[in-house]
Structure 1
């Protein structure tokens, strides 16, 4: 059975942006609340502990669900490498 694991990120950690919209969309797509990983940091930052934990939690056959593709990758190269890694691990990607 496929497990859906979600990832949400807002760019600003100052409280001016919240995860609610992304969290609601992920839940509507079937991701359980405890399987949603979050970061509050610029996408350009290398240190995103929520993404690291999310990628570690994914297992063969699971599906990573994100609200928008720009929430996932730092830049195009990072995004392509990440999707390649998911593919090699037999992990699906669903963009809402």
Structure 2
């Protein structure tokens, strides 16, 4: 039996392309995850493990839908091989039921990890360059310096409850505690 696995990282992404391709490939069941690939526990993959039997094939649209790193992909490949299950990636035209398919699988996995590392390095270099030019990333502070000082003073005076301070300043409790910690 062919069991398809599809995954999208965000709710905004569309599964239709993957599901259509898996149906065309003859998958009798398609399991879906709407979760980041970097998340270790993926309910859909756990369901796939329960469904797979010796002689079955796990079919994915692309290898990166199954694992985010070469280590993940090799781990899955080993697990599937141990269970007597083939791995088919439609986009990369890989079928691990043959020796050539296994070799190509490992090569594509290594290249995918290399590409992710390059993207990460470029992103970090861009952030460092922006910081060197004085730009700060992240969310802007909700309170200016004067309001932060006033908030900390109200907190230390113990005359007003934390809830009242938060309502007065229109912030959450974690934000209040962050400002108090920064002031120390």
Where 1:8 maps in the other structure, the secondary structure is strand
Write the distance in 1 (CA, Å) between the matches of 2:68 and 2:41. Answer: 11
Q: 1:51 and 2:45 equivalent?
A: yes
Write the distance in 2 (CA, Å) between the matches of 1:55 and 1:19. Answer: 21
Relative contact order higher in (CA < 8 Å, ≥ 6 apart): 1
Where 2:59 maps in the other structure, the secondary structure is strand
Q: 1:10 and 2:8 equivalent?
A: yes
Alpha-carbon shift at residue 55 of structure 1 (Å): 1.5
Where 1:56 maps in the other structure, the secondary structure is helix
1:21-60 maps to which residues of 2 (within 5 A)? 21-32=17-28, 35-60=29-54
Where 1:17 maps in the other structure, the secondary structure is coil
Write the distance in 2 (CA, Å) between the matches of 1:76 and 1:55. Answer: 19
Gaps of 5+ in 2: 91-184
Write the distance in 2 (CA, Å) between the matches of 1:70 and 1:58. Answer: 20
Moved over 6 A (4+): none
CA shift digits 1:10-39 (9 cap, x unpaired): 011xx311210000000000112xx10000
TM-score normalized by structure 2? 0.48
1:60-79 maps to which residues of 2 (within 5 A)? 60-79=54-73
**Could you say which structure has the higher helix fraction?**
2
TM-score normalized by structure 1? 0.90
CA RMSD of aligned residues (A): 0.8
Aligned residues between the structures? 90
Write the distance in 2 (CA, Å) between the matches of 1:45 and 1:75. Answer: 12
**Could you say which structure has the higher strand fraction?**
1
